[in-house]
Amino acid sequence: MNVSPLLPKRPLGSTGIDVSCLGLGTVKFGRNEGVKYPTDFALPDDRSVQNILQQCAERGMNLIDTAPAYGNSEKRLGHLLENRQQWVICSKVGEEFDKGASHFNFSAKHTRKSIERSLKRLRTDYLDIVLVHSDGSDEAIIHHSNCLETLQRAREDGLIRAYGMSTKTVAGGLLTVVHADIVMVTLNPGATDDRVVIEAAHKQGKGVLIKKALNSGHVLAAQTDATQPPQDPVQNSLDFIFANAGVTSVIIGSITPKHLQHNIDCAIRAAT
């Protein structure tokens, strides 16, 4: 009987949390408007989501990424996610998506309320990771809001285990490495600016999560030499990402078992 290999796990910086090298992004579980994917898609039904979650668990994936801005993703996960203790749940604060547009609020009051709402939606008494969902003003959020301080208090209160920011600028990423446990940055063969952030995080023992590894689904196999066999863009992207010391885990969304299996197989090859 053939047994499929499991995703290896890595320490998430110094948080004491071990996460699979590939995590599941869940925006497609709850929102299909105002997204930047190359093709339209229908939201999967409950059975399809359950099948995806089961497939993830069977292949050793324990990291799941959601957010209040992902439509009803949190609510669906709260209803469908079984065996809470086996999952590392990452949610976010700062961004709300309503009536087709994003709205941002990084105040201490909103941050705390957002955490408490996520706990209710996800039907859990703690969140493993909470990231600030930046609007691009990374430095201003860190220097001129109480968002990170509020997350630190939430950790002290036992509501969350670790915190950080999903950044949009190199400067913001470098500041996050100094002021938080985890940084989420963009990295793929066509977007390499944040490599300096990853290097800084690695030196300081901070966790690094990667977003947009496949450029929101826009990765294409560019065949420049007709004499060579076609390249696998997923494998190429993950090979490129995991070649960077300090990368903890890559977040990729999937709503089809075939695509999920391929992503997992590619991640295992790239990370081991």
8 A C-beta contact, residue 79 and residue 47:
no
Q: Where are the beta strands (DSSP E) in 1-58?
A: 9-11, 18-20, 22-25
Q: Kindly list the domain boundaries of the chain, sorted by start residue.
A: 9-271
Q: How confident is the model at residue 158 (pLDDT cuts 50, 70, 90)?
A: very high
Backbone angles phi, psi at 228, to 5 degrees: -100, 150
Instruction: Tell me the CA distances in angstroms from 207 to 98, 170, 172, 239, one per residue in order.
Output: 31, 16, 15, 19
Measured between alpha carbons, how far is 158 from 154 in angstroms, rounded to an integer? 6
pLDDT of residue 229: 64
pLDDT tens-digit series, residues 104-122? 999 999 999 999 999 999 9
The answer to whether 148 touches 142, Cβ cutoff 8 Å, is yes
Tens-digit pLDDT profile for residues 168-222: 999 999 999 999 999 999 999 999 999 999 999 999 999 999 999 999 665 544 4
Kindly report, residue by residue over 18-48, the tens digit of the pLDDT.
999 999 999 999 998 888 888 888 999 999 9
| Structure confidence at residue 9 as a pLDDT band (50, 70, 90) | very high
* 9-271: in CATH 3.30.300.350: no
